[in-house]
Amino acid sequence: MKRASWILPLAGAAVVGVRRAGPGLSGDKFPLGAVVDKGLTGRGAQMRGQRYIPMLPERMAAGELTTAHLATPTLPREQAPKAYGMFKHKTDGCVRAVIRPTS
Protein backbone atom coordinates (compact mmCIF):
# COMPACT_ATOMS: atom_id res chain seq x y z
CA MET A 1 0.00 0.00 0.00
CA LYS A 2 1.51 3.30 -1.10
CA ARG A 3 1.28 6.22 1.34
CA ALA A 4 1.36 9.87 0.45
CA SER A 5 4.55 11.46 1.79
CA TRP A 6 2.73 14.57 3.02
CA ILE A 7 0.32 12.82 5.42
CA LEU A 8 2.66 12.18 8.37
CA PRO A 9 4.17 15.70 8.54
CA LEU A 10 0.72 17.27 8.22
CA ALA A 11 -0.83 15.03 10.88
CA GLY A 12 2.19 15.59 13.12
CA ALA A 13 1.86 19.36 12.80
CA ALA A 14 -1.84 19.12 13.63
CA VAL A 15 -1.12 17.10 16.76
CA VAL A 16 1.66 19.45 17.89
CA GLY A 17 -0.68 22.43 17.43
CA VAL A 18 -3.20 21.17 19.99
CA ARG A 19 -2.95 22.04 23.69
CA ARG A 20 -1.36 19.41 25.94
CA ALA A 21 -3.33 17.66 28.70
CA GLY A 22 -0.54 16.07 30.76
CA PRO A 23 2.71 14.05 30.81
CA GLY A 24 3.14 11.20 28.34
CA LEU A 25 5.16 9.29 25.74
CA SER A 26 7.68 10.30 23.11
CA GLY A 27 7.18 9.44 19.44
CA ASP A 28 9.20 8.48 16.39
CA LYS A 29 8.11 9.77 12.99
CA PHE A 30 4.56 10.40 14.13
CA PRO A 31 4.02 12.08 17.53
CA LEU A 32 1.91 9.26 18.98
CA GLY A 33 2.94 10.27 22.48
CA ALA A 34 1.51 13.74 21.90
CA VAL A 35 -1.75 12.18 20.72
CA VAL A 36 -1.99 10.20 23.95
CA ASP A 37 -0.88 13.16 26.13
CA LYS A 38 -3.48 15.44 24.61
CA GLY A 39 -6.27 12.90 24.76
CA LEU A 40 -6.99 13.21 21.02
CA THR A 41 -9.35 10.91 19.18
CA GLY A 42 -8.94 10.00 15.53
CA ARG A 43 -11.76 8.75 13.37
CA GLY A 44 -12.00 7.64 9.80
CA ALA A 45 -14.45 6.13 7.40
CA GLN A 46 -14.73 4.97 3.84
CA MET A 47 -17.46 5.58 1.32
CA ARG A 48 -18.43 3.09 -1.33
CA GLY A 49 -17.99 5.65 -4.11
CA GLN A 50 -17.35 3.17 -6.87
CA ARG A 51 -20.70 1.58 -6.11
CA TYR A 52 -22.91 4.64 -5.61
CA ILE A 53 -21.42 7.50 -7.61
CA PRO A 54 -22.08 6.08 -11.12
CA MET A 55 -25.85 6.03 -10.51
CA LEU A 56 -26.04 9.61 -9.19
CA PRO A 57 -25.97 11.40 -12.59
CA GLU A 58 -28.68 9.05 -13.90
CA ARG A 59 -30.92 9.75 -10.89
CA MET A 60 -30.29 13.49 -11.20
CA ALA A 61 -31.20 13.39 -14.90
CA ALA A 62 -34.40 11.51 -14.03
CA GLY A 63 -35.30 14.18 -11.45
CA GLU A 64 -35.04 11.82 -8.48
CA LEU A 65 -32.21 13.80 -6.86
CA THR A 66 -31.76 17.54 -6.68
CA THR A 67 -28.76 19.58 -5.59
CA ALA A 68 -30.21 23.08 -5.71
CA HIS A 69 -30.47 23.21 -1.92
CA LEU A 70 -26.71 22.64 -1.60
CA ALA A 71 -25.68 25.82 -3.43
CA THR A 72 -27.43 28.66 -1.70
CA PRO A 73 -26.06 31.62 -3.16
CA THR A 74 -24.23 31.70 -6.46
CA LEU A 75 -22.14 34.85 -6.70
CA PRO A 76 -19.52 36.16 -9.13
CA ARG A 77 -15.85 36.06 -8.17
CA GLU A 78 -15.87 39.79 -7.41
CA GLN A 79 -18.30 39.13 -4.55
CA ALA A 80 -16.27 36.26 -3.02
CA PRO A 81 -15.69 38.10 0.29
CA LYS A 82 -19.45 38.56 0.62
CA ALA A 83 -20.00 34.85 -0.13
CA TYR A 84 -17.49 33.82 2.54
CA GLY A 85 -19.14 36.14 5.06
CA MET A 86 -22.59 34.74 4.26
CA PHE A 87 -21.28 31.20 4.78
CA LYS A 88 -19.45 32.05 7.99
CA HIS A 89 -22.43 33.77 9.60
CA LYS A 90 -25.08 31.53 7.92
CA THR A 91 -27.02 34.57 6.71
CA ASP A 92 -29.79 34.21 4.13
CA GLY A 93 -29.90 30.44 4.76
CA CYS A 94 -26.42 29.98 3.27
CA VAL A 95 -25.42 26.33 3.45
CA ARG A 96 -22.69 26.45 0.80
CA ALA A 97 -21.73 29.42 -1.33
CA VAL A 98 -20.85 28.92 -4.99
CA ILE A 99 -18.42 31.41 -6.51
CA ARG A 100 -18.61 31.68 -10.31
CA PRO A 101 -15.44 32.49 -12.23
CA THR A 102 -15.75 35.46 -14.54
CA SER A 103 -14.92 35.03 -18.19
The range of the structural domain enclosing residue 89 comes to 67-103
Q: Does residue 50 belong to any structural domain of this protein? A: no
Contact 33, 18 (CB under 8 A): no
pLDDT digits (tens, 9 = 90+) for 2-38: 555 666 676 777 666 665 554 444 445 667 777 777 7
Pair 95, 72: CB distance under 8 Å = yes
Q: What is the pTM of this model?
A: 0.37
Pairwise CA distance, residues 30 & 8, whole Å: 6
pLDDT at 25: 45
Instruction: State the average pLDDT for the chain.
Output: 76
Is 48 part of a structural domain of the chain? no
* pLDDT higher than threshold 60 for residue 72: yes
* Tally of domains within the chain: 2
